[in-house]
Structure 1
Amino acid sequence: MSVFAIRSERVVTRGGVGPATIVVDGERIASVEDTTPTGIPVEDVGALVVSPGLVDCHVHVNEPGRTDWEGFTTATRAAAAGGVTTIVDMPLNCTPVTTDAGALRQKLEACRGQLAVDVGFWAGVVPGNADQLPELAAAGVLGAKAFLCDSGIDDFPMSTRDDLLAAMPRLRDAGLPLLAHAELASNASECAPGSRSHRAWLESRPPRWEVAAIELLVELCRTTGCAVHIVHLSAAAALPTLRAARAEGLPITVETCPHYLCLAAEQIPDGATSFKCAPPIRDEANREALWAALRAGDIDFVISDHSPCTPGLKHVDDGDFGRAWGGISSLSLGLANVWTEARRRGFALDDLARLMSTAPAHFAGLADRKGSIASGYDADLCIWDPDATFEVDVDHLHFRHKLSPYLGRSLTGAVRATWLRGVRVFDGQSFGAPTGRTQLHRHDPT
């Protein structure tokens, strides 16, 4: 194994940001030194920031089955271009959905030889598969996701209260969290097919849907003792419920996404279906409340929820919000999106590392090797310029379809290189050989 070092004036470690030399021995960080050792190759990146590789634990890769939407090659390359060194793949939008161990095996086979970064996997919770969860846990999934509303995919139906009560004790006993798409449908205005109005889409999924779902999940967490994770929180109105549950000591964690932090409903033109997602992007006041919750620690981390589809399903030609697929593509751009807005609000470089590397690695059960620059950790590094500004064009979009609400947007924070376990997998322009691995946990079924 080769030994080399990377030196920077701004290395982000648990102790803060400052000059340091990272000594890499093979795949792992051997040490972090104040001075530069002699006798080994040293790459000095000057004032570029060296952060721990980002961990994005909410990505829809869609392979096997829907590789016309995305796939492991394009998704993991897009991740590497954004400084992301580990993703965790969602269990739906692929065929078959990952609701039993056989489907997980198919996914593991499909990703072989394609990975530009490391990949873990979530299982799915659907009606009737609670007995499959111990085997999925034993096969190495990191947790399991359920929808409390229509998922948009026929083979991944929503879970009822009774379905969750059947599944959650199995996950608890395996030491795994339940991830939940937290919208509980009730009466609301309809966004009818043919509507080009983003406001109609927004009003069709009001904040009370999220609040009601989260209230139910808090109750089930309390009843079962199973850890619960709220994915892609959009509605700030749910924050008081979450604060109270966490103050009670319940094991509940929360994520949000760049699109809820960087965009606002007032800015979305009618017919601009690249902005459509569920839950929807809400107003500016809601956005600022989410930033305040990040600062206060009421939201744990930020992930992409990269959810691509084909241009036809996105209805880019006719701008039909009623029919368009709900999902935002942004996997290459998360660091720049969040940093652009975070620095304006007084967040620092180490805040960003905590929110996009350390905390998601901890949640996904990877904190013994991912998410920090420290001795013994995988040498996963993001080298980037926090002062470089660029305008997003199609050359910045490394995922399959060049559709994103961020096209034309001016962002600050350019990734110059991404290292995965001591290998440079992205040099700012091109990609290295696929050296990514799967990240599986081993759990004993009960």
Structure 2
Amino acid sequence: MAPAITLAAEAPKLSAANTGFMLICSALVMLMTPGLAFFYGGMVRVKSTLNMLMMSFISLGIVTILWVLYGFSMAFGTDSGSLIGWNSDWVGLGNIGLTELWPGYTIPVFVFLVFQLMFAIITPALISGALADRVKFSAWALFIALWATVVYFPVAHWVWGTGGWAFELGVIDFAGGTAVHINAGAAALGVILVIGKRVGFKKDPMRPHSLPLVMLGAGLLWFGWFGFNAGSWLGNDDGVGALMFVNTQVATAAAMLAWLIYEKIRHGAFTTLGAASGAVAGLVAITPAGGAVTPLGAIAVGAIAGVLCAMAVGLKYKFGYDDSLDVVGVHLVGGVLGSLLIGLFASGKGQSTVEGLFYGGGLTQFWKQCAGVFAVLAYSLIASAILAFILDKTMGMRVPEDDEVAGIDQAEHAETAYDFSGAGGGAAKTAATAPVAAAASKKVDA
């Protein structure tokens, strides 16, 4: 009898289907940053609209260049001390083959790196909502560059990079509860504690100037979030990405309804701002958890986040920190909830066999989630506050008070979001047409 022949495991081959799927997901995640710009832009007063849009858009430029130069290498290169990565071949992205695969997957390295780039872009953009109305655009642009380098790239390595301490510990973060939302929310809190409150905080009305714009932004975020979440499985072969897609929809719906019910009971009305904010809270909370829970678990995660985030947005008035657009209340609180609830609702039937407390797994995973959550929160909060302090003492973070009161759009960008001068009506129309009317009158009299 001939000896048995043992074949080596077949190496992964490039999958055109998975590659195309991931490119589409990358484009969806890119769309989230303009969506965020509209979401935030509608929530501020008219005089700050353009500045709010630009604070998100500028991240598309700055972070993209840093990612090519060294960011991808820092986040996903060879591990050093479980804290940072580095791969000199990836600096400038000039030594990556067109068909070189990301280890263990069927997509090219270029596809993985561009997908992760979109995460790196939106994370600092999330911070901007907490700083509305009062930050110099030049200081903000420099802050993005420093923060991405000092905070985001290392934290992404901790959570997702091979050898990163949170990755090796077994902290579950499917698509960015810690690396994106807690990271951004804690950073927002750190910066606003340094730069202080807006002029008129708790005194002047600071209502959203365009709720339709807010709803448009929320819709774009919800749409793009399917790529953000489902794409994070880096393929579409085993159904886990499909589970994440379903759970993203389910949790978002539950959170929106829970937020609306809470505000109806608490404030007496179902508001469009509440619907948009509740949807985003659900998206945030399910981001780390969606691959580990069942759809029923997703309903629980979304409902809990909807209520507790709605409660959390009011804390700024109680404690006196001016989080302009509720980045802390939604992204920090939602990210913490979604990450910790994995320790309770993980079913063992999704991305891994890990089970939470309610599925007989005890509290082992819960404590791992706590380690990841509070380490990222503390590091981002402290590092971000230090960066803001340095910038504030050197170039100044805030615009002059007169510019803030008059409108940061005109002061920082020499533009306004809406130009009504050509729309007609009122005194402007009368003044503009008076000479023509007078000439016509003389012609008739003659």
| TM-score normalised per structure 2 | 0.25
Instruction: Determine which structure has more spread, i.e. the larger CA radius of gyration.
Output: 2
Higher helix share: 2
| TM-score normalised per structure 1 | 0.25
